[in-house]
Amino acid sequence: LTTPADNTKIPAMATQISAKSNAPGIFRSTVISNRKLNPNCFLMRLMLEETRTAALPAAVAGQFVMLRLSDSVFPFLPRPFGIMQVHKSKPFGACIYDILYQIAGTGTRFMSTLKPGYVIQAFGPLGNGFTINTGVNTHVIIAGGIGIAGVFMLVRELSKKQDANNTIHLFYGAKTARD
């Protein structure tokens, strides 16, 4: 690809992922469930298409995916969503992942209406994620609002540490008690 102004080359976006890579890729995901947690907050569970199961299991806490909900012009741009959790389905070898989201506009309102079986496009995992210092036993984590989604996987990783002195302090803030 080239830019029209100065004819400089722009690298084309990769659409395939090596099985040994955690590089981001474009893949189709099918909605398994889209559960309402409160009036404005939903938990969506998605399953990757079978040929792309290598990408998300390598995702680290704090990374995200860009979700494109429709092939039509609405919503026009993909939206970023933190990966809350990644599951590996043993019977089928499928990769299932969870997205926690809050209705903030027309795009996420449309997302809240998606039913099981609906197929969306995802690009990821993106972002650097959190760096876990293995030499530390006391972890202090501060999160707020819908940002708890990315922190959830971090707390799970930290809690796997087999050390009696390992402690995790999570400070979570929200606008209301309902949040």
pLDDT digits (tens, 9 = 90+) for 76-112: 788 899 999 988 765 556 788 999 999 998 889 999 9
pTM of the predicted model over 0.85: no
Query: Mean pLDDT over all residues of the chain?
Result: 78
Average pLDDT of span 149-178: 85
Cβ distance 152 to 63 under 8 Å? no
Instruction: Name beta bridge partners: 6.
Output: none
- How many percent of the chain have pLDDT more than 70? 76
H-assigned helices in the chain: 106-111, 148-159
pLDDT at 57: 63
34, 93, 94, 95, 96 from 90: Cα distances, Å: 22, 5, 7, 9, 11
